[in-house]
Structure 1
Amino acid sequence: MIIKRSISVSTKLYTPICLVLFMCQLVIFSPHVLAANASTATSEEFAYPTVTYCIDPDWMPYEAIRNNQHVGMSSDYIIYIGVLAELDFQLVKTKSWSESLEKLKSGECQVASMLNRSPERERYLRFTQPFFVGPNVLVSNVEQAFFQGYENIGTQVVGAVAQYRQAEYIDNYYPHINLKLVENELAGLRLLADGDIDLFVGSLLSVNALIQKSGFSNLRIAGLAEPQDQLSMAVSNDDIELLNKLNVAISELPEWVHADIYKQWNNVRVIEEVDYRYFWIATSVFLCIIILGVWRQLLVSRYNKKLTLKNQQLQTLQKELLENNQRLEFMSVRDPLTNMYNRHFMQDRAAQEKQVSQRKNLPVCLLLIDIDFFKAVNDQFGHSAGDAVLVELATLICSTIRNMDVAARWGGEEFIVLCPKTTLGEAIYLAKRLKNQIRQHEFTEVGRMTCSFGVAEYLGPESFVDWFDRTDKALYAAKNTGRDRIHASCVELTEKTESEKLDSV
């Protein structure tokens, strides 16, 4: 029997093409990075520091070692994260997941590319934020009712891979379950197909791929298993600097990178090409029991149809999960009225820029914007008109700020702009430009409006709360001195710039 991957050629070409597009995006949206490198870097400085990493060598489509090469979803993530974090990842080849964990404990591997957080692993690893979420499932070889978790399993024997997070989870929270540990997911599915265990628990994507590849036509998905996979990278030896680099790189991954990696590896299918010479030999030998063969074929066909139906349902579920994850991710960082980033996103992004400012000694500023006399708009024209003003102002702010700036709705009629690599003077200039654009704009129904501005530069090391409070005090100083003004935090102002503290109409 010959087994081949139906998109093997396109898979080899896909990642390089996406990486080129990814680099182009970096060039378009981060020209200051390339400019800084071009002016200061020599050819030797482009060599990134080397970081060793280990993977699970047999966990497709997430990751595996095939022909001494790292393949799977994590292989693509390693490429993108390596570019963003400026790291040269070097694979340490292992023969099993247990061996990989031992090398992580010993420090021979500095990083694990894709794994779940668990209490046992937290003893010797530090985890990044998750970058991929997927469900776990229970697999059965008989017609059973749909399971929703482990509560109704009773005395049935459940298989799980040794040293996987699911095995540790069942042992900690469901000690009454009859658990049988196996070397890998394929070994567990074989035991299930042979009737040696009643259920097997594993990742939806990897289990589904193994069922299709290995021809386990009598196996089916029997239910969802808690908890779902929340896959992260992990760092050994308490390397906080490396952990921070990885977290920053993961947070900067565009949404389309996650979607493209998922679609690329989820579309891998296995085509089985049967050698019909063996079929004819078997037919000539078993002519006397042809009726039995026909009966068996009908039975297999019935199970294949059921399996195909279940696979279609699984694919629909996968698509819905991806869409829901994308929708939830969008909703978690966006303001529903203006479609701008929300307060939660801005706090996280400001924390990242603080780290960059402290590490590279770069300036970063906050602009706080408040609509003057907004309550009067609501009282005179109604809350619908007030909402329309907020939406128009959000559009005006986003179209006026620079590409590297980040704008968000802070709450009510307040908006905030984060200005990386920006001095206080440059931030004041941007605030003046925004103030003039707003003053000249005709808002629907209400006409001309004005805004007051507070500006403050980050003074490390200070907390975001302290930084924001200084900006907020500057805003209220602008309000109290007549509105439609720009007021900068007095802490940063020297005698030379003291005259710029108040900017009157």
Structure 2
Amino acid sequence: MKTRLNIGVATPNTRLFALYFVSYLFLVFTTFSTSAQDISRGDLDVDFPEFPIVTYCIDPDWLPYEAIRNNQHVGMSADYMRYIGILAEVKFVLVKTRSWEESLRFLNTGQCDVASMLNRSPEREKYLLFTQPYFNDTNVLVSRDEYEFIQGFENIGEQKLGAVSSYRQAEYIANYYPEIDLHLVANESEGLRLLAEGEIDLFIGSLLSMNAKIQKNGYNHLHISGLAGPQDLLAMGVANQNHDLMEKLDAAIEQIPEWLHVEVYKEWNNVKVVNEADYRLIWAIGILFTFLSVIAFWRQRIVSRFNSQLLLKNKQLESLQKELLEKNQSLEFLSMRDPLTLMFNRYFISQRCEQERQLSLRKKTQVCLIVVDIDFFKPVNDNYGHSRGDAVLKEMAARITNTIREMDISARWGGEEFLVLCPDTNKQEAVLLAKRLNKAISQHAFTEVGHLTCSLGVAEYKPDESFVQWFDRGDQALYQAKNSGRDRVVCAE
């Protein structure tokens, strides 16, 4: 008895059971017209009119990674691109193609801006830029049951190996293993068919895709017989040397949280190890077959009542989905905001400062920090109470937000200390902005408290300096302003 790995699809015995089960329940449930797609359908073409449009191509038949089904992009890459599009602030629009070869041709001729998921190769680097990988997978060798385990290309010998002509594996084998008898095919389905019919001896493909297609097509006499290099490092490809778009997508991929990788993998890859030829399951299927035949007529009688209940549940589900979306949006907002002042919080401004620091290194631009601290804030809490102190912090946040430029980003760093990030700004411009802030704050009469002043420290980013070092210089300039009499601006040298 052979043990094989099945990913996200039914085993042969389970598939047989599913066939009987569906056949006898089809009559029972034929009036159930609402499908999962009616309840919740993913669509990358979300209406974000303020975002620039970016066209993209995919492999239309490469599940579970990606595919086009019912004119919709489905698969792992579809889930990732919804998230990446929001982070990169672009509107992805799918260009439907009939094959992966056509997708590559569209990328080469500029009819597509982006490829959603592919490997880097020397040939593709001639017309594509590549982001960092966001999904890794293993390549495997598939053979018929009479072949034993094969480890690596070195042990293939005179056997005929099939590979998809437009995939990276074919280019890799042709370059590094020219002695292998390589047979090129149009797609993975054709390669597995030729392998099943004995036209070739082995076929190479990605682990998840191979398991899905083997089980979907019922190739019970095919199995994974070994691992094959190189590993898939799947990234996004950007056509026409569009460096700005590539950097935006790269920055978005860096922000993908670990939970998203886990959820996408769980959604598309239910991994389990099963044994073939389990005759106990066949007996169980026979018993269940008889039982379902008896109760089928009874089930038909209650289907109309079930339909009305299902419609009601669907409406309730739509309402809950809408409520969940609103709550998720609120949680996302609160995760980036200080709960008292509603300014950006310390975590968010730290991330933005790090991004601007990296951008400054790549593009040789200037960027500055302004550290703001309220003078003599403790007496405010002592004399007027902490509720009045909180009100002063809110007013101070409003004065800072209304005074800085549209391009600047302000945040509450902690306590009575605030931070202003000034992109594309040199220290002379930052000092002028800090003085304008100082004047706006000192001229404002705070409710019940009156006039207050602030001390401000300015620091321009130095190349190869870490964010902590950059901030510390601004903080030291702030304390120089405090020690020099307060209510003034000091620029760090």
State the TM-score, normalizing by the size of structure 1. 0.53
Q: Report the alpha carbon displacement of residue 106 of structure 1 after superposing the two structures with TM.
A: 0.6
Counterpart in the other structure of 1:68: 71
Gaps of 5+ in 2: 1-15, 23-33, 282-349, 372-407, 420-455
Asked if residue 143 in structure 1 is aligned to residue 175 in structure 2, the reply is no
Once the two structures are superposed, residues 295-314 of structure 1 have per-residue CA deviations (whole angstroms, 9 ceiling, x without a partner) of: xxxxxxx96569x9xxxxxx
Change (3 A) 1:112 1:428: same
Counterpart of 2:92 in 1: which secondary structure? strand
Change (3 A) 1:140 1:500: same
Counterpart of 1:169 in 2: which secondary structure? helix
Asked if residue 197 in structure 1 is aligned to residue 209 in structure 2, the reply is no
Once the two structures are superposed, residues 359-416 of structure 1 have per-residue CA deviations (whole angstroms, 9 ceiling, x without a partner) of: 99985589xxxxxxxxxxxxxxxxxxxxxxxxxxxxxxxxxxxxxxxxxxxxxxxxxx
Counterpart in the other structure of 1:158: 161
Tell me if the contact between 2:133 and 2:233 (Cα under 8 Å) persists in the aligned partners.
yes
Q: Report the alpha carbon displacement of residue 79 of structure 1 after superposing the two structures with TM.
A: 1.2
Counterpart in the other structure of 2:183: 180
Q: Whole-Å Cα distance in 2 between the matches of residues 491 and 118 of structure 1?
A: 54
Counterpart in the other structure of 2:264: 261
Q: Report the alpha carbon displacement of residue 353 of structure 1 after superposing the two structures with TM.
A: 3.4
Question: Which structure 2 residues correspond to residues 438-457 of structure 1 after superposition, within 5 A?
Answer: none
Q: Whole-Å Cα distance in 1 between the matches of residues 38 and 173 of structure 2?
A: 38
Tell me if the contact between 1:155 and 1:177 (Cα under 8 Å) persists in the aligned partners.
yes
Gaps of 5+ in 1: 24-43, 270-301, 309-346, 367-419, 433-454, 476-485
Q: Report the alpha carbon displacement of residue 169 of structure 1 after superposing the two structures with TM.
A: 0.9
Q: Whole-Å Cα distance in 1 between the matches of residues 102 and 478 of structure 2?
A: 56
Name the aligned partner's letter for residue 463 of structure 2: S
Counterpart of 1:180 in 2: which secondary structure? strand
Q: Whole-Å Cα distance in 1 between the matches of residues 177 and 105 of structure 2?
A: 26
Q: Report the alpha carbon displacement of residue 146 of structure 1 after superposing the two structures with TM.
A: 2.1
Tell me if the contact between 1:85 and 1:248 (Cα under 8 Å) persists in the aligned partners.
yes
Counterpart of 1:211 in 2: which secondary structure? helix
Tell me if the contact between 2:132 and 2:250 (Cα under 8 Å) persists in the aligned partners.
yes
Counterpart in the other structure of 1:459: 460
Once the two structures are superposed, residues 187-240 of structure 1 have per-residue CA deviations (whole angstroms, 9 ceiling, x without a partner) of: 000111011111100011111000110000000000111111111111011111
Counterpart in the other structure of 2:60: 57
Tell me if the contact between 1:135 and 1:228 (Cα under 8 Å) persists in the aligned partners.
yes
Change (3 A) 1:183 1:354: same
RMSD: 4.6
Max radius of gyration: which structure? Answer: 2
Q: Whole-Å Cα distance in 1 between the matches of residues 38 and 458 of structure 2?
A: 47
Counterpart in the other structure of 1:487: 476
Tell me if the contact between 2:137 and 2:231 (Cα under 8 Å) persists in the aligned partners.
yes
Q: Whole-Å Cα distance in 2 between the matches of residues 238 and 142 of structure 1?
A: 46
Q: Report the alpha carbon displacement of residue 58 of structure 1 after superposing the two structures with TM.
A: 0.9
% identical aligned pairs: 49
Tell me if the contact between 1:458 and 1:467 (Cα under 8 Å) persists in the aligned partners.
no
Name the aligned partner's letter for residue 487 of structure 1: Q
Q: Whole-Å Cα distance in 2 between the matches of residues 491 and 243 of structure 1?
A: 42
Change (3 A) 1:201 1:350: farther
Counterpart in the other structure of 1:206: 209
Name the aligned partner's letter for residue 169 of structure 1: Y
Q: Report the alpha carbon displacement of residue 500 of structure 1 after superposing the two structures with TM.
A: 8.3
Change (3 A) 1:457 1:171: farther
Question: Relative contact order, CA 8 A, sep 6+: which one is greater?
Answer: 2
Q: Report the alpha carbon displacement of residue 143 of structure 1 after superposing the two structures with TM.
A: 3.4
Counterpart of 1:119 in 2: which secondary structure? coil
Q: Report the alpha carbon displacement of residue 354 of structure 1 after superposing the two structures with TM.
A: 2.3
Tell me if the contact between 1:357 and 1:364 (Cα under 8 Å) persists in the aligned partners.
no
Counterpart in the other structure of 2:174: 171
Q: Report the alpha carbon displacement of residue 155 of structure 1 after superposing the two structures with TM.
A: 1.1
Counterpart of 1:465 in 2: which secondary structure? coil
Tell me if the contact between 1:48 and 1:86 (Cα under 8 Å) persists in the aligned partners.
yes
Counterpart of 1:464 in 2: which secondary structure? coil
Counterpart of 1:163 in 2: which secondary structure? coil
Asked if residue 230 in structure 1 is aligned to residue 230 in structure 2, the reply is no
Counterpart in the other structure of 1:289: none
Aligned to 1:110, which of 105, 108, 113?
Answer: 113
Q: Whole-Å Cα distance in 2 between the matches of residues 151 and 498 of structure 1?
A: 74
Q: Report the alpha carbon displacement of residue 349 of structure 1 after superposing the two structures with TM.
A: 8.1
Shifted more, 227-236 versus 258-267: the winner is 258-267
Change (3 A) 1:134 1:365: farther
Aligned to 1:125, which of 128, 135, 140?
Answer: 128
Tell me if the contact between 1:54 and 1:100 (Cα under 8 Å) persists in the aligned partners.
yes
Q: Report the alpha carbon displacement of residue 498 of structure 1 after superposing the two structures with TM.
A: 9.6
Q: Report the alpha carbon displacement of residue 488 of structure 1 after superposing the two structures with TM.
A: 3.7
Name the aligned partner's letter for residue 197 of structure 2: D
Tell me if the contact between 2:459 and 2:471 (Cα under 8 Å) persists in the aligned partners.
no
Q: Report the alpha carbon displacement of residue 487 of structure 1 after superposing the two structures with TM.
A: 2.6
Name the aligned partner's letter for residue 195 of structure 2: L
Q: Whole-Å Cα distance in 1 between the matches of residues 355 and 78 of structure 2?
A: 26
State the TM-score, normalizing by the size of structure 2. 0.55
Counterpart of 1:147 in 2: which secondary structure? coil
Q: Whole-Å Cα distance in 1 between the matches of residues 73 and 171 of structure 2?
A: 26
Tell me if the contact between 1:363 and 1:421 (Cα under 8 Å) persists in the aligned partners.
no
Change (3 A) 1:103 1:469: same
Change (3 A) 1:45 1:167: closer
Once the two structures are superposed, residues 103-150 of structure 1 have per-residue CA deviations (whole angstroms, 9 ceiling, x without a partner) of: 100111000001011111111100011111111110010333322221
Tell me if the contact between 1:139 and 1:200 (Cα under 8 Å) persists in the aligned partners.
yes
Change (3 A) 1:458 1:139: farther
Q: Whole-Å Cα distance in 1 between the matches of residues 360 and 484 of structure 2?
A: 24
Change (3 A) 1:45 1:488: farther
Tell me if the contact between 1:70 and 1:91 (Cα under 8 Å) persists in the aligned partners.
yes
Counterpart in the other structure of 2:7: none
Question: Which structure 2 residues correspond to residues 292-441 of structure 1 after superposition, within 5 A?
Answer: 304=277, 351-354=354-357, 364=369, 421=409, 430=417
Tell me if the contact between 2:457 and 2:489 (Cα under 8 Å) persists in the aligned partners.
no
Tell me if the contact between 1:188 and 1:200 (Cα under 8 Å) persists in the aligned partners.
yes
